[in-house]
Chain A
Amino acid sequence: MASFKPTKVQFLPKLGEKVTEETLYWKNYKSPVQIKEFGAITKIDFSPLPPHNYAVTASTRIHIYGPHSQEPIRSFTRFRDTAYGGSFRGDGKLLVAGSEEGLIRLFDISGRVALRQFAGHSKAVHVTSFLSDGFRVVSGSDDLSCRVWDVPSAVELSSLTEHTDYVRALAPSKLNPDLFVTGSYDHTVKVFDMRSGSSVMTMQHGHPVECVLLYPSEALLVSTGGRYVKVWDLLKGGQELVSLKNHHKTVTCACLSSVGNKLLTGSLDRHIKVYNSSYKVVHNFDCDASILSMAIAPDDEALAVGMTNGVLSVRHRRHQKDKETLTSRRRRGPSYQVFVKGKNFVPRQDDFLVSKPVKQYLRKYDKQLKSFEVSKALDTALQTWTRTSKPDVTVAVIIELNRRGTLKNALAGRNEESLTKILNFLLKHIFDPRFSRPLLMVGDIVLDLYQQVFHESPVVERLLQRLMEVLGREAELQQELLQVLGILDTLFASLTPRKEVMAHAAPPVAQESQLQAA
């Protein structure tokens, strides 16, 4: 006598991206904290010193936030017009910012009034930065020039006017105080050496450059502009290493994580993409609005994103500690001892063993299927928890009922409530290619069974209406896909070279064998 064979739940391949270490790492951020600023956030810069405060440049202010505060701990508001590009000095004590009117201001972190003002640019200054010696400030402006300023004397050291369009990107070298990289809307990226007073390298990005970024080793340079992110090898004289096209709108900002130097890029298409070392996208953050600026804290503790709608969203890393507090709050289950109680007994040599048949534990729906209670089994499979978290189990029960030829019986005689459950399940999963076949069958049977009584329930009617709509849309989509497939087929067919098939003109040697004679 064989025992009851439980319903086989098919192991289905998981859809979507595969889970790797990288995705796990980048998924380990808490849900973002949203802070409203006064205007579009154009620049975020983290202080190099702990506790890693960050300066947020938006509208006519620069706010400095602490790592966990949602209120600014300090704000610089003495701007007559929009401020741009607030960035810290290497020691985190000074802050420099450009502005719409062309003035560059230098602030002490603890002060309120600007220590220095550098005047000279005729148009808005969008990017400013300290050179790595800390005594000079470099700025890029819409008047096509880049200027270097001396902090102590507040005089202009040099002016470089090699760009032919707005300069909107700037990255100073951390290793050499005389080097900095600029990107401009004239589609070029230039490396300037202060010692020679001119550019030493020019790279064609091909699109207006929005952001440039140097790797810590300063052998690699990242430039973003248009939909492209390009990586250049500086040691090979500015050779293009890769060109990435993962965004579908202009890429506005890029930054490097401090753990493993992973590249992150943000774009107007509201996505932040994380690349691994071979420049494959490993993770994707979604935001509410187009991203203008982005910065990541040292040790990847927080990711701050500034958007066009003036919302600053800060994601903090989740720590093991937080998890522990969560689990400790939960009631502890029975201990291990309870489960092994009486089961780890080792019989002695002379003991007489009475073997007990192993009890077969069945799921509830299997028990009901075993006793042929088909309707109840379907109800069990459609319970909220199973339905939502394990739709494959629900579908497996449906398939099993169909195999037994009792799916119609199980679906018949239902009230509005349970019918709504079924229809909702259909709405959610009918397009899943893994489930669509059995679910379409369920849909057919439901229509057949309840055709006469649908109009009595507005709820069910509405659900059916929706089901019809989405089904129509899906059918259209499928048709379009088929068309595309056809187009591709013709393309491939025309691409493959015509191969001459050797014609073996084999004369049929119809040897009348003795088989027939026999």
Chain B
Amino acid sequence: MVETSDIRVVRCGGSKVNLTPPIISSDSRFVLCTSGDLVKVYSTRTEEWLHSLQGHTNQVTGITLNPANHLQVYSCSVDGTVKLWDFIDGILIKTFVIGCPLFAIYVSEKHTGVLFLHVSMATDSKNECFQLVSVHLPKSAEQEVEAKEMSAVSSHISKNPSCTAFGRGGEYIAFARHLQLNVYFFRKQKTYSFSLKATDKKGAKNAFTCIACHPTDDCIATGHEDGKIRLWRNFIHKKEYTYSTQHWHHNAVNTLCFTPEGTHLLSGGIESVLVQWQYGADNRKEFLPRLGGSILHISASSDGQLFCTSHSDNKITVIESSFKVCGVIQGLVKGDAVLTDLMIDPRSKALVLNGKPGHLQFYSLLRDKHLYNLDIVQQEYIYEAGLDQFEVVKAAFDIKGSWLATVEERGKKSSDLEFFLKLWAFDERTQSFVLNTTITAAHTDRIISMCFSSSEETTMLVTAAEDSQFKAWCQGADADTQQDQNFWSCDFVGSYHKLNPTNCSFSADSSLLAVSFQEVITIWSPDTWEMLTTLCQPPGVIRDLCFGRLSCSKYLLGTTTKNLLCCWNLLTCELEWSTSVDVSKLQPDPFSENVAAFSYQSKHTDLFVFKPSEPRPLFTNKNVCSEKVHRAVFVPREEPLNSCDESTQWLNRSQLYFLTQNMDLLTFSTATEEDRMLSSSKQLVIDDSVAVTPFYLLLGKHRQQQQKLNTQSHPVSDKPQQTQGSVTIKELLHTPAHVLPAASVLCSMFVNSFLISNTGVQQDPLR
């Protein structure tokens, strides 16, 4: 077995940013949100990721500003700690160890030094019960403090963190669970509870979904499962409470938020419409529709100038109080499943996969940034639960990246399946894909597999569908249409004994097309559309099919459902070798002969990398992850690594990314790569520490000239000189102004430092 110590599995693409409500700093300059075990800080103006607060060891579940110091933020995590950060500089100030998993955090100005936390009652693992506890933070100078002073405020609270809210500056806390609204008054130490009927005559579902309290008034707004918003008043008296009902949302209200002055109430739900209700005049409302995915959280800045909504498509939208979107922070969109393969756009080298519903997203792996969404379906998205929507199920790029083929599908559940095959041409002028051809009835049944020919001259698309046919599509073959536009039309229809095709693949030079029909692989010549030969290795339906590349191009690899990995030699039409592995994904590297095979056995996935010519793996990694891997892609590197270690050689030219069933995007990184990254980040720190001012630019220019001169005259003495010079200048630039000696004293020294002594050996200017 190959040593795997210097190859690590690395998570990339970031985690969800929409798990908890984002918070806006009090000066409205930063947006903070949780992302996995990090807290990320973004700029509200530029939408740029500034830095992250790193320190938790598990999912961060809540963040809130420290009411005592608006430059500090509390974060709680499942790892059982609450951390206090300075979020502008990214410094961890304190860690409070609570000792049990935390799920939400609340603070109030009235209760200084007290945190309110959601903890799980560890009584029963199946029947999850949550408890709201208050924790007194011990005053101590230590970095890590244990806070054990807990007192329960209430048990039996909802696990939804948005069902708990402080009211009127912390006089009471309201929390709802199922059909009961409880209000706990801190002064009276008493809980009042109000309950609704499960359903009324009209079939309304009254369960509470979220809660918000008016900042100055005694009013609690609650959202309900059927889309109603109730405003509760006079709840100080247990019997004489009243409520008024508003109904605009057609589905559950996900979140409610009062503006800091309490003049408006914001609400959002699955419709993806931000509704602003005027407080007091409840029928006056404003809308901001079509924000993206359904709204999960809304938060407002303390001055009320900015709102933040987080959406189900891993997005945070920054909205001005005048209801104008001013910024979008978009993460890698991870839906429930990626239906398309992972692909690489040959032009931008971006990762392409399903994004928002009906879109393809382009994600730059290099910069870890979402580039753009390409609208495939081009229809108005209706935000309604349970509606059967069009989804992009297949996509393929041709080898140059000038064509993109997509298949969108609707009606998987019902009998009438609708699908479209679309072909997109890359437009050089707009630098995006433009719809070229829509084929409405490409096949009579679902398209299973699709691939472009890999030759540079002619592009051809082959689709295989469940109607036991495969079709080849060519550009502009239709002679009847008089316009000489480059539309795509069908060139050839092939079938084999009415068997359903399962996969299709072109060889590296596009001289052969392999189409697998259940257990049989048929080899076709795309020039004459003649079936050359059939290959068969029963039992088991062919699951994956790929040709070898470069020196191994005479081999054809196939995996079957009966745990068999076969390799055929196409010159002799004989089986070269076969082995019994349950391969869930077979991925050839387009830049080398290597093929990666992910095998899922006994609840963990193993990776084998091998060359088709020899049945000995180059690299094996046991237990890559615990879920099945269905999607993988080789991404070409910007600059190849030059590792000569046998186990890491396969990662020299490209990098393997794969997606698990839990929608985690993982990759392999090597030791050399990490070294390089570390060194580059160090370099970055030095560069960054010098602020880009006009002064710096002037100085920088001088320095460059100086360096040039130095290299010309004294290449040997260059190095020490340069470092010394930079140190002195750095010293000068970084010493606070009030500590420096007077400018008149410095000036002569400073000017001296620029002079080039004609003796050649430069004297140290500051000494």
Contact between chains at B577 and A509 (CB < 8 Å): yes
Decide if B379 is an interface residue (CB 8 Å cutoff).
yes
Q: How far is the CA of A370 from the CA of B616 in the complex (A)?
A: 61
B486 to chain A, nearest CB (A): 16
Closest to B274 in A: A1
Contact between chains at A10 and B440 (CB < 8 Å): yes
Q: How far is the CA of A5 from the CA of B699 in the complex (A)?
A: 53
Q: Which of B380, B573, B576 contacts A5 (CB 8 A)?
A: B380
Contact residues in B for A502 (Cβ distance below 8 Å):
533
Contact between chains at A504 and B575 (CB < 8 Å): no
Indicate with 1 or 0, residue by residue over A485-518, a CB within 8 angstroms of chain B CB atoms. 0000000000000000110101111111111101
Q: Which of B325, B379, B579, B617 contacts A403 (CB 8 A)?
A: B379
Q: Which of A3, A369, A507, A516 contacts B579 (CB 8 A)?
A: A516
Contact residues in B for A2 (Cβ distance below 8 Å):
290, 292
Indicate with 1 or 0, residue by residue over B559-576, a CB within 8 angstroms of chain A CB atoms. 000000100000001111
Contact between chains at B380 and A369 (CB < 8 Å): yes
Closest to B533 in A: A504
Contact between chains at B574 and A506 (CB < 8 Å): yes
Contact between chains at B290 and A3 (CB < 8 Å): yes
Q: How far is the CA of A370 from the CA of B380 in the complex (A)?
A: 9
Contact residues in A for B620 (Cβ distance below 8 Å):
518
Contact between chains at A511 and B615 (CB < 8 Å): yes
A515 to chain B, nearest CB (A): 5
Contact residues in B for A11 (Cβ distance below 8 Å):
438
Decide if A405 is an interface residue (CB 8 Å cutoff).
yes
Q: How far is the CA of A511 from the CA of B566 in the complex (A)?
A: 10
Query: Within A421-448, which residues are at the interface with B (CB < 8 Å)?
Result: 437, 441
Contact residues in A for B534 (Cβ distance below 8 Å):
501
Contact between chains at B578 and A1 (CB < 8 Å): no
Q: Which of A1, A5, A370 contacts B378 (CB 8 A)?
A: A5
Contact between chains at B416 and A437 (CB < 8 Å): yes
Contact residues in A for B288 (Cβ distance below 8 Å):
1
Contact between chains at B578 and A511 (CB < 8 Å): yes
Contact between chains at B579 and A511 (CB < 8 Å): yes
- Give the interface SS of chain A, mostly helix, strand, loop or mixed: loop
A509 to chain B, nearest CB (A): 5
Contact between chains at B387 and A513 (CB < 8 Å): no
Decide if B384 is an interface residue (CB 8 Å cutoff).
yes
Indicate with 1 or 0, residue by residue over B579-613, a CB within 8 angstroms of chain A CB atoms. 11100000000000000000000000000101000
Closest to B577 in A: A511
B11 to chain A, nearest CB (A): 25
Contact between chains at A510 and B290 (CB < 8 Å): no
Q: Which of A6, A508, A518 contacts B578 (CB 8 A)?
A: A508
Closest to B2 in A: A518
A400 to chain B, nearest CB (A): 8
Contact residues in B for A473 (Cβ distance below 8 Å):
none
B327 to chain A, nearest CB (A): 12
A443 to chain B, nearest CB (A): 14
Contact between chains at B291 and A1 (CB < 8 Å): yes
Query: Within B357-412, which residues are at the interface with A (CB < 8 Å)?
Result: 375, 378-380, 382, 384, 387-388, 390, 410
Decide if B289 is an interface residue (CB 8 Å cutoff).
yes
Decide if B281 is an interface residue (CB 8 Å cutoff).
no
Q: How far is the CA of A502 from the CA of B620 in the complex (A)?
A: 39
Q: How many A-B residue pairs have CB under 8 A?
A: 92
Contact residues in A for B416 (Cβ distance below 8 Å):
437, 441
Contact between chains at A514 and B574 (CB < 8 Å): no
Contact between chains at A515 and B617 (CB < 8 Å): yes
Contact residues in A for B565 (Cβ distance below 8 Å):
515
A460 to chain B, nearest CB (A): 26
Contact between chains at A403 and B410 (CB < 8 Å): yes
Contact between chains at B574 and A512 (CB < 8 Å): no
B533 to chain A, nearest CB (A): 7
Decide if B537 is an interface residue (CB 8 Å cutoff).
yes
Decide if A25 is an interface residue (CB 8 Å cutoff).
no
Contact residues in A for B616 (Cβ distance below 8 Å):
513-515
Decide if B336 is an interface residue (CB 8 Å cutoff).
no
Decide if A359 is an interface residue (CB 8 Å cutoff).
no
Decide if A455 is an interface residue (CB 8 Å cutoff).
no
Contact between chains at A18 and B325 (CB < 8 Å): no
A1 to chain B, nearest CB (A): 5
B160 to chain A, nearest CB (A): 27
Closest to B375 in A: A5
Closest to A516 in B: B579
Contact between chains at A504 and B573 (CB < 8 Å): yes
Decide if B638 is an interface residue (CB 8 Å cutoff).
no
Query: Within A380-410, which residues are at the interface with B (CB < 8 Å)?
Result: 400, 403-405
Contact residues in B for A18 (Cβ distance below 8 Å):
480, 482
Contact residues in A for B289 (Cβ distance below 8 Å):
1
Indicate with 1 or 0, residue by residue over A1-42, a CB within 8 angstroms of chain B CB atoms. 111111110110000001000000000000000000000000
Q: Which of B290, B615, B617 contacts A4 (CB 8 A)?
A: B290
Contact residues in B for A516 (Cβ distance below 8 Å):
579-581
Contact residues in B for A437 (Cβ distance below 8 Å):
416
Q: Known interface pairs A1-B289, A4-B290, A511-B578. Does A405 touch B440 (Cβ–Cβ under 8 Å)?
A: no
Q: Known interface pairs A405-B388, A509-B575. Does A8 touch B379 (Cβ–Cβ under 8 Å)?
A: yes
Contact between chains at B380 and A4 (CB < 8 Å): yes
Contact residues in B for A7 (Cβ distance below 8 Å):
379-380
Decide if B1 is an interface residue (CB 8 Å cutoff).
yes
Contact residues in A for B573 (Cβ distance below 8 Å):
504, 506
Contact residues in A for B1 (Cβ distance below 8 Å):
518
Query: Within A336-359, which residues are at the interface with B (CB < 8 Å)?
Result: none
Contact between chains at B579 and A513 (CB < 8 Å): yes
Contact residues in A for B440 (Cβ distance below 8 Å):
10
B370 to chain A, nearest CB (A): 16
Contact residues in B for A513 (Cβ distance below 8 Å):
577-579, 615-616
Contact between chains at A510 and B581 (CB < 8 Å): no
Q: How far is the CA of A506 from the CA of B440 in the complex (A)?
A: 42
Query: Within B439-489, which residues are at the interface with A (CB < 8 Å)?
Result: 440, 480, 482
Q: How far is the CA of A320 from the CA of B475 in the complex (A)?
A: 40
Contact between chains at B608 and A515 (CB < 8 Å): yes
Contact residues in B for A510 (Cβ distance below 8 Å):
575, 577-578
Q: How far is the CA of A369 from the CA of B378 in the complex (A)?
A: 15
Contact residues in B for A3 (Cβ distance below 8 Å):
290
Indicate with 1 or 0, residue by residue over B615-657, a CB within 8 angstroms of chain A CB atoms. 1110010000000000000000000000000000000000000
Q: How far is the CA of A405 from the CA of B413 in the complex (A)?
A: 14
Contact residues in B for A8 (Cβ distance below 8 Å):
378-379
Contact between chains at B576 and A509 (CB < 8 Å): yes
Query: Within B213-269, which residues are at the interface with A (CB < 8 Å)?
Result: none
Q: Known interface pairs A4-B290, A403-B390, A506-B575. Does A515 touch B581 (Cβ–Cβ under 8 Å)?
A: yes
Contact residues in B for A6 (Cβ distance below 8 Å):
380
Closest to A510 in B: B578
Q: How far is the CA of A178 from the CA of B438 in the complex (A)?
A: 64
Contact between chains at A509 and B574 (CB < 8 Å): yes
Contact residues in A for B577 (Cβ distance below 8 Å):
509-511, 513
Indicate with 1 or 0, residue by residue over A310-334, a CB within 8 angstroms of chain B CB atoms. 0000000000000000000000000
Contact between chains at B617 and A1 (CB < 8 Å): no
A18 to chain B, nearest CB (A): 7
24 intermolecular pairs with C-beta atoms under 8 Å apart: A1-B288, A1-B291, A2-B290, A5-B375, A5-B379, A10-B438, A18-B480, A18-B482, A400-B379, A403-B379, A403-B390, A404-B384, A404-B387, A504-B533, A504-B535, A506-B535, A510-B578, A511-B577, A511-B615, A515-B608, A515-B617, A516-B579, A518-B608, A518-B620
Q: List the 9 shortest-distance A-B pairs measured between CB atoms, nearest first.
A: A513-B615, A511-B577, A513-B579, A5-B380, A506-B574, A515-B579, A504-B573, A518-B620, A514-B616
Q: Which residues of B contact A (CB under 8 A)?
A: 1, 288-292, 325, 375, 378-380, 382, 384, 387-388, 390, 410, 416, 438, 440, 480, 482, 533-535, 537, 565, 573-581, 608, 610, 615-617, 620
A18-B480, A400-B379 known, 20 other contacts, Cβ within 8 Å:
A1-B288, A1-B289, A1-B290, A2-B290, A18-B482, A370-B380, A403-B382, A403-B390, A404-B382, A405-B384, A501-B534, A504-B573, A506-B575, A507-B574, A510-B577, A510-B578, A511-B577, A513-B579, A515-B565, A515-B579
